[in-house]
Structure 1
Amino acid sequence: MHSFSLNQWALDFQGNLERILTSISIAKSKGATLRVGPELEIPGYGCLDHFLEGDTVLHSWEVLAKILASEEAMGILCDIGMPVVHKNVIYNCRVIIYDRKILLIRPKMWLANDGNYRELRYFTPWVKHRQWEDHYLPRIIQTITRQVKVPFGDVLVSTQDTCIGIELCEELFTPSSPHILMGLDGAEIFTNSSGSHHELRKLYRRVELIKEATLKLGGVYLYANQQGCDGDRLYYDGCALIAINGKVIAQGSQFSLNDVEVVTATIDIEDVRAHRAKSSRSMQAAQSERYHRVEVPFALSGGKFEEVKFDDIAGVSPTQGPEVKYHTPEEEIAFGPACWLWDYLRRSRTQGYFLPLSGGIDSCATAVIAHSMCRIVAEAARRGDKQVIADARRIVGESEDSGYLPSDPKEFAGRIFHTCYMGTENSSVETRRRAKQLAEAVGSYHTDLNMDTLVSSVVSLFSFVTGAKPRFRAHGGSNAENLALQNIQARLRMVLAYLFAQLLPWVRGGNGGLLVLGSANVDESLRGYFTKYDCSSADINPIGGISKSDLKRFIAYARDAFDLPILTEFLEAVPTAELEPITETYVQADEADMGMTYDELSVFGRLRKVEKCGPYSMFTKLVHEWGSLLSPTQIAEKVKHFFFEYARNRHKMTTITPAYHAESYSPDDNRFDLRPFLYPARFPWQFRKIDEVAAALPDRSQHASKDKTE
């Protein structure tokens, strides 16, 4: 049996077809009798509103016609994903084919419709459980299959030796999953075709659900997933799995540059039958409702028992043995955004990346992720990965027969990764030096400039027009003047970033342009602690969904794993924007400016998004969590300050750079976090209630302080 991870691309029908056919060929070459691919693999999962276009459905049928007519698809049972219009209703479907026949079209019954997913916007769930209807095929398919109509609905597939039930992604995550009733009615093998994105620490939940699906029930579970950047801010992390009777027996890689990856296991179906030989399970099965079965004159088994085996496909080995491989969050940050950057670069047809490198930890983390991308590319090139080598040669401007190999990550970075330190009179010697040393360590093409004349020219123009000259607070200016002078520097950096990104390839004798990388973390975005249209306004942002706390742990990991000792200095430096003058009594610091720590911001973010707290409920939760350290009044002030700053800066989310999604509390406003951007920022009703309750609650923090002193 073979379960696949495919790097499909939304609307890339030609490329998606080629990858599907390749996966089927690999499966057959390994002796497979059942091939399962990811969700909506023909058009790509991330088509979004394109699913509402007739073209998308038409081209999906055209691709399926080529698969049906191919020699690759002969002699193997294939589970393939595409949208299907049935009685003028669009469904997210699996199409089961065998020997130029469509056996069944199985529509999805439970749709993902929260967080990053809006499937109900495009598709309708199939609500006629354990029921089916005739679906009349388009003529392009009839010509190949010689079928006029096929079953459409919640149906099982019976082979000569077993019975197969089909699930689609979200259906595994529902409380009453279809596999339960299918298994009680005799289905022994379950397929799940998924489009599940990467999020830090998420894989464990997915694996546990797959194991649990067959632990009580018994059975074989084949999980296939989308892999790579499908054309949006999500990264689908593959990790195809095969489990039997609650135990994972094969696992694919979670982060890979491969376009096609296969996970293989040979199982003994008698193990399932032995596992199910329990009286209580049999009593429930005996009274279960019946599913209609579509019969296929084909046997999945080639004989009696064979040992479980693992295959090495395209240089990637599934995990050896039964232990599931989990990456640490630090490793997930190192590999997930790096693979996403590579997909984005090769598919955008640009010549590399440009990063404003400030000498602070956020742009440092972005640079290290780009370095990790170069390391992953170099490793794939050393393995002889033809697709990676071909993409790398095209990006750097080398011909296909040049012999160039991107096998040295620093050399490759010097061609495609560009960094620039944009200093002003407010910049320190330390940040300039750190930026230069980091660029040398990762091998980027680095430039260094001072932009004081540009800043002073803009200020002079304003003074000439208005007759007023703004001053920093340190020089006697107001808060409005101080903020405006900071924002001028930040926004001019964005202008320079795009100028350099467009012209640096030309300066170096090349063609095309560069994508600008942003480096604002999820906590700064949540708090609105950045300038609208500053250098965080970029093309894409690999750290925009990662918390400051996780970024620090990632930098500590990368220092040792990537042999970058310079990263110690970034970890020890106080985070600062360096937009105000440094005086004997004042040095600008991020956490002081924000009025809260980054750790506190992470807590606020999770309570606001994941636990769905408004101001009052957040206050009541934090009274219990922080009450031993802070008084109710202090907690109230922190909560009110957070919501005030969050609300008054919410409008910035409408311009935020598309960012790699990694955190469950991403503040992105138009995909993941659907909240308004114009608020009553002082929340008069909510804040008044917080104040009333805070004044009435006992102060537990004083007792904790006394206990410590005693």
Structure 2
Amino acid sequence: MPTSSLNQWALDFEGNLERILGSIRIAKERGATLRVGPELEITGYGCLDHFLEGDTCLHSWEVLGKILTSEDAKGIVCDIGMPVRHKNVIYNCRIIIHDGKIILIRPKMWMANNGNYRELRYFTPWMKHRESEDHYLPRMIQNITGQVKVPFGDAVVSTIDTCIGVELCEELFTPASPHILMGLDGVEIFTNSSGSHHELRKLYTRVELIKEATLKLGGIYLYANQQGCDGDRLYYDGCAMIAVNGQIVAQGSQFSLQDVEVVTATVDLEDVRAFRAISSRSMQAAGAKGYQRIEVGFALSDEDDTSSVKNIQELVAKKYDVRYHRPEEEIALGPACWLWDYLRRSRTQGYFLPLSGGIDSCATAVIVHSMCRLVAESARKGDQAVIADARRIAGEPQDSTYLPSDPLDFANKVFHTCYMGTENSSAETRGRAKELAQAIGSYHTDLNMDSIVTAVRQLFAYVTGVKPRFRAHGGSQAENLALQNIQARLRMVLAYLFAQLLPWVRGRNGGLLVLGSANVDESLRGYLTKYDCSSADVNPIGAISKTDLKKFIAYAKDSFELPVLAEFLDAVPTAELEPITETYVQADEADMGMTYDELSVFGRLRKVEKCGPYSMFTKLVHEWGSFLSPTQVAEKVKHFFFEYARNRHKMTTLTPSYHAEQYSPDDNRFDLRPFLYPSRFPWQFKKIDALAASLPDRSTVHPQEAKNEIN
């Protein structure tokens, strides 16, 4: 039995159809009788408000018609996903087809409606559990299938040899999942079509839920998932799986440049029946309420296939080790695959990155290097789709024989970096940027923008009669901040200028996408200039913490053989926007008034654990109480919320970022909050102060050791 991961794209009906038929062909070539695809695979999962348009449903039926009439879809049961309008209500549905006929339309019953998901905005859940009714088909489908109406609802499909039940994505994650009652009523095969996105350290939860679904219940679980960038901030990480009686027996890749991946395993229904021969389970099953069975006259298995029994016994007897990537590998692979999809589908000529010599832009550059490595690996394996895309992006003619098998050579064609220095920049950062560019093969430029900064300062002085100065030269805080922001914003202007014209300079057509490199902690704290070089087209690290980025760089130093990365790890993070003096060097953590490790803690408590100022203090006073006094904890919490609140407006303009972290402050979909706050939180802060004053000081650790304790 096969399940699949498809790299579908929202509203790409033609491409989505080709990938669906491709997966069916592969399944049949492997002798499969049942094929399962990802959620909403005909439209792509990320259509958002396009699901409310009649056109989307219309084109879905047109695509389904192509599948129903295709010879590829004959002789196999196919579980296909698309939106369906039933009695003027839009549902997220699975359509079970066989030999040109529709067997069942099964609507989703429990919706994903938190975090990145807003399914209730587009779809209505099916509320008539264990009930179905007639759905009258569009005339175009009636003409193909000869059917006027088909069952629509919460039913199961009964073949000659087994029973199949459908579970959709979020339904697996709910406390009372449908597979429980279906299994007690005799369903032996469960299909789950999912649109589940990648998030650091998330796969383990998904795997455990799939295993648990059949560990007590018994059964065969076929999990399919979307893969790739569907046109937004999410990367769907595939990893199609097959589980039998609580054990994973097959697993697909989590990060891949392939558009179609099919995972198959030989399974034995008798193993399920033997596993279920438990008295307590049988007693519960005997009293279970029945599902309507849609009976069909075909079987999924051969009548006397003893070879299948032998194969599954060998397969289940052999312990299968699920592949989990370390977080550092996830950062190397997930954003790289996302960038590749974004690049090839936007039909631009490459990426441009302002390379500062700091660890954030370094991490962004290394992720692009990882993308080039993945492209080169696929090219060496002969992946013609990747080769064709790479040739087009690199500006090669259609009859070119260019093979993107060298990641540095390919990077020189598609990746452009630039060090934008000023009088406040150091020789160390300039040198690190140049060394890294050489190591990864990017087309690198180096410029000094002092003349542009000076021109802006002189313009202001000419208009107002007053020339602003840095704090180091006697200027005020307002002057000092304004002069820093000039440099940051001019870098953004120059980045777009170079991104538009560098291909022209190199004799090519088109433009480049500008990459941002602000990490999740700086965005949360608001430690960035609005519309500076953090403003870009896309940002692969915008939802990754500084802590994880450092671990990623340490991993990449050895895994990618980039010894220059050691210099980035040892450097003190700095914006280099103020003059360096004998007594002062600008440092990020000193500027922010908090460490990156503390920011990660604040971010998780605020978003994941849903803490306001007071509840965050009550948690941290216990966690940090051994090395900080209650008053010190109170000051840290208040300082974070004050800075978060007064900089909240910056998060409304954050560059669209690869979603990788549960505490991402992405304002556009994931983290919905007001952007004008009472930033001093008078009620909350007074309550914190009163509680802090009443608590004993339990701190025993020396303040210098506090950072290690937070880690």
TM bin, normalised by shorter chain, reads over 0.9
| Residue of structure 1 in register with 2:567 after alignment | 569
Task: State the alpha-carbon separation in 1 of the partners of residues 140 and 523 from structure 2.
Answer: 50
Task: State the alpha-carbon separation in 2 of the partners of residues 321 and 147 from structure 1.
Answer: 46
| Residue of structure 2 in register with 1:306 after alignment | 308
8 Å CA contact 1:362–1:521 kept in 2: the answer is yes
| Residue of structure 2 in register with 1:43 after alignment | 43
Matched residue SS, 2:699: helix
Structure 1 residue 703: Cα displacement? 8.1
Structure 2 unaligned residues grouped into runs of 5+: 313-317, 707-711
| Residue of structure 2 in register with 1:123 after alignment | 123
Match of 1:335 among 315, 333, 336: 333
8 Å CA contact 2:627–2:701 kept in 1: the answer is no
Matched residue SS, 2:127: coil
Structure 1 residue 702: Cα displacement? 4.1
| Residue of structure 2 in register with 1:94 after alignment | 94
1:153 aligns with 2:153: yes
1:488 aligns with 2:478: no
8 Å CA contact 1:84–1:91 kept in 2: the answer is yes
| Residue of structure 2 in register with 1:316 after alignment | none
Cα distance, 1:567–1:279 mapped onto 2, change above 3 Å = same
| Residue of structure 1 in register with 2:532 after alignment | 534
1:668 aligns with 2:659: no
Taking structure 2 as the reference length, what is the TM-score of the superposition?
0.97
Task: State the alpha-carbon separation in 2 of the partners of residues 391 and 136 from structure 1.
Answer: 42
Structure 1 residue 400: Cα displacement? 3.2
| Residue of structure 1 in register with 2:689 after alignment | 691
| Residue of structure 2 in register with 1:215 after alignment | 215
Matched residue SS, 1:539: coil
Write the letter of the residue equivalent to 1:258.
Answer: Q
Cα distance, 1:170–1:308 mapped onto 2, change above 3 Å = farther
Task: State the alpha-carbon separation in 2 of the partners of residues 552 and 208 from structure 1.
Answer: 29
| Residue of structure 2 in register with 1:510 after alignment | 508
The one-character-per-residue Cα deviations of 1:517-539 (angstroms, maximum 9, x if unpaired) are 00000000000000000000000
| Residue of structure 1 in register with 2:415 after alignment | 417
Write the letter of the residue equivalent to 2:287.
Answer: Q
| Residue of structure 2 in register with 1:584 after alignment | 582
Task: State the alpha-carbon separation in 2 of the partners of residues 479 and 472 from structure 1.
Answer: 8
Write the letter of the residue equivalent to 1:367.
Answer: A
1:274 aligns with 2:266: no
| Residue of structure 1 in register with 2:394 after alignment | 396
| Residue of structure 2 in register with 1:250 after alignment | 250
Write the letter of the residue equivalent to 1:507.
Answer: V
8 Å CA contact 2:109–2:125 kept in 1: the answer is yes
Structure 1 residue 398: Cα displacement? 1.3
8 Å CA contact 1:5–1:225 kept in 2: the answer is yes
Matched residue SS, 1:701: coil
Cα distance, 1:673–1:703 mapped onto 2, change above 3 Å = closer
| Residue of structure 2 in register with 1:138 after alignment | 138
1:30 aligns with 2:24: no
| Residue of structure 2 in register with 1:55 after alignment | 55
Task: State the alpha-carbon separation in 1 of the partners of residues 30 and 245 from structure 2.
Answer: 24
8 Å CA contact 1:24–1:35 kept in 2: the answer is yes
Structure 1 residue 295: Cα displacement? 1.3
Write the letter of the residue equivalent to 1:517.
Answer: L
Task: State the alpha-carbon separation in 2 of the partners of residues 86 and 75 from structure 1.
Answer: 28
Structure 1 residue 297: Cα displacement? 1.3
Structure 1 residue 59: Cα displacement? 0.3
Matched residue SS, 1:27: helix
1:230 aligns with 2:230: yes
| Residue of structure 2 in register with 1:382 after alignment | 380
Write the letter of the residue equivalent to 1:467.
Answer: G
8 Å CA contact 2:526–2:643 kept in 1: the answer is yes
8 Å CA contact 1:351–1:514 kept in 2: the answer is yes
Cα distance, 1:608–1:155 mapped onto 2, change above 3 Å = same
| Residue of structure 1 in register with 2:315 after alignment | none
Matched residue SS, 1:700: coil
Structure 1 residue 304: Cα displacement? 3.5
Query: Which aligned pairs between 1:620-635 and structure 2 lie closer than 5 A?
Result: 620-635=618-633
Task: State the alpha-carbon separation in 2 of the partners of residues 619 and 544 from structure 1.
Answer: 27
Task: State the alpha-carbon separation in 2 of the partners of residues 309 and 586 from structure 1.
Answer: 70
Write the letter of the residue equivalent to 1:218.
Answer: G
Task: State the alpha-carbon separation in 2 of the partners of residues 470 and 308 from structure 1.
Answer: 82
Task: State the alpha-carbon separation in 1 of the partners of residues 491 and 42 from structure 2.
Answer: 42
| Residue of structure 1 in register with 2:648 after alignment | 650
Identity of aligned residues (%): 82
Task: State the alpha-carbon separation in 2 of the partners of residues 537 and 297 from structure 1.
Answer: 59
8 Å CA contact 1:264–1:309 kept in 2: the answer is no
Write the letter of the residue equivalent to 1:476.
Answer: G
Tell me how many residue pairs correspond in the alignment.
698
8 Å CA contact 1:350–1:395 kept in 2: the answer is yes
Matched residue SS, 2:71: coil
Matched residue SS, 1:112: coil
| Residue of structure 1 in register with 2:611 after alignment | 613
Task: State the alpha-carbon separation in 1 of the partners of residues 259 and 456 from structure 2.
Answer: 49
Taking structure 1 as the reference length, what is the TM-score of the superposition?
0.97
Write the letter of the residue equivalent to 2:161.
Answer: D
Cα distance, 1:444–1:308 mapped onto 2, change above 3 Å = farther
Structure 1 residue 575: Cα displacement? 0.1
Task: State the alpha-carbon separation in 2 of the partners of residues 157 and 443 from structure 1.
Answer: 55
Cα distance, 1:422–1:386 mapped onto 2, change above 3 Å = same
8 Å CA contact 2:419–2:446 kept in 1: the answer is yes
8 Å CA contact 1:27–1:262 kept in 2: the answer is yes
8 Å CA contact 1:268–1:305 kept in 2: the answer is no
Task: State the alpha-carbon separation in 1 of the partners of residues 401 and 467 from structure 2.
Answer: 59
Matched residue SS, 1:5: strand
